[in-house]
Amino acid sequence: MELDHLAVAGETLEEACAHVEEALGVPMQPGGQHAVFATHNRLLALADGLYLEAIAIDPAAEPQRQPRWFDLDRFSGGPRISNWICRCTDLPGHLARLPVQAGGLVPLTRGDLKWDMAVPADGILPYDNLFPALIEWHSPHPAPRLLQQGCALRQLVISHPQAEALQQLVPMSDARLLFEQGPAGFAAEFDTPHGRRSLG
């Protein structure tokens, strides 16, 4: 299991994109639509094979499955980091060892991209959506296609009242990840062409 990408949700895609672009000072690139959940996104390349995704419900589409992923049906308020996504191999094996609330396997596609995602039946991930969404890619990873703009993740802070228990369920060795006991939420720091920037 390793960090794959971060999701920044908004009530609209325009709001989510503006939040990222204003915080980091670089433009996001076109993404696409996710037909199963009727969502759409835009993308930003990060160093080390990571990327950042702005995501929102697509008002022009009808979902094939609900509740939507990333708990987007209940999302409200200002745009913010809503989820972290970790890639793995043998997603079914991982899910067999994790709480049932971690989700069931959902096959997904976008253009020529193909992957499986663990999506809970109610769309809500454990630990107030701070448990990582798990993904297994079955096509080339999208990050190498994106234009690098000099941005790199320095640190992702995962704050939750039960941070220690959450950390024990996520067997990862990544110096960029910091679990802290506190109110549920994310905060991230990035190196950018404009210096160090924060995004919440």
Q: Parse the chain into domains and list their residue ranges.
A: 2-147
Q: How far is CA 178 from CA 29, 85, 157, 186, 198, in A?
A: 28, 15, 5, 10, 15
- CA gap 148, 151 in Å, rounded: 7
For residues 45 and 146, the answer to whether their CB atoms sit within 8 Å is yes
Q: Which residues pair with 87 in a beta bridge?
A: 2, 135
Class of domain 2-147: alpha beta
Confidence class for position 4, pLDDT limits 50, 70, 90 = very high
Q: What is the pLDDT of residue 39?
A: 98
Work out the percent of the chain whose per-residue pLDDT is above 70.
100
Q: What is the pLDDT of residue 173?
A: 86
- Statement: the pTM of the whole predicted model exceeds 0.85: yes
- CA gap 157, 6 in Å, rounded: 12
> At a CB cut-off of 8 Å and minimum separation 6, what does 40 contact?
13, 31, 32, 33, 34, 55, 56, 58, 61
Confidence class for position 172, pLDDT limits 50, 70, 90 = confident
